Amino acid sequence: MITLTKDMEIGVQKVDDQHRELVNRLNAVTSMGANSVSKEETEKTIDFLCDYILLHFNDEEALQKQSGYPKYEWHKGQHQLYVAEIGKLKQEFFMNGASAKFTLDLNNSIVNWIVRHIKSADVEFGKFYRAN
Ligand SMILES: [Fe+2]
């Protein structure tokens, strides 16, 4: 279970609001392991997260482009890598269900990654955006 801590706030309202929703949807996926939910339900919850990730990355990239953020291309590349990781996670679930690998990848490549990304790359963008 993750919470949007102070050091994850970037100071841009729209992005912070979206990060809060993103964290909620992430928690919905990670908490499923503890409850016994059906495969369909799990798939729906993962898709619910994926849809939001795409929407959020799009909006964040649009803000970067509009504001002439110099690291826009790099940041967008990071988002693309993440989307690929989520794709792999979905594939793993599709093939093997909530396997040990699925849980491990979910925690390492998905949850930890996004927390690190928000704390560093997004916070850095927030500073730029507020100064410009
Ligand atoms: Fe980002």
Residue 8 neighbours by CB under 8 Å, 6+ apart: 19, 115, 118, 119, 123
In the chain, where are the structural domains located? Answer: 6-131
**Do 96 and 61 contact (CB within 8 A), yes or no?**
no
- Taking the centre of ligand 1 as the mean of its atom positions, its distance from the CA of residue 23, in whole angstroms, is 13
**Do 49 and 24 contact (CB within 8 A), yes or no?**
no
pLDDT of 114:
96
Q: What is the identity of the amino acid at 126?
A: G
pLDDT of 1:
87
Helices (H), the chain: 13-30, 39-66, 72-96, 100-105, 113-117, 123-131
- Taking the centre of ligand 1 as the mean of its atom positions, its distance from the CA of residue 77, in whole angstroms, is 10
Q: Which fold has domain 6-131?
A: Four Helix Bundle (Hemerythrin (Met), subunit A) (1.20.120)
- Taking the centre of ligand 1 as the mean of its atom positions, its distance from the CA of residue 36, in whole angstroms, is 32
Structure tokens given for 27: 């928690």
Convert the pLDDT of each residue in 23-38 to its tens digit.
999 999 999 876 678 8
What pTM did the predictor assign?
Answer: 0.93
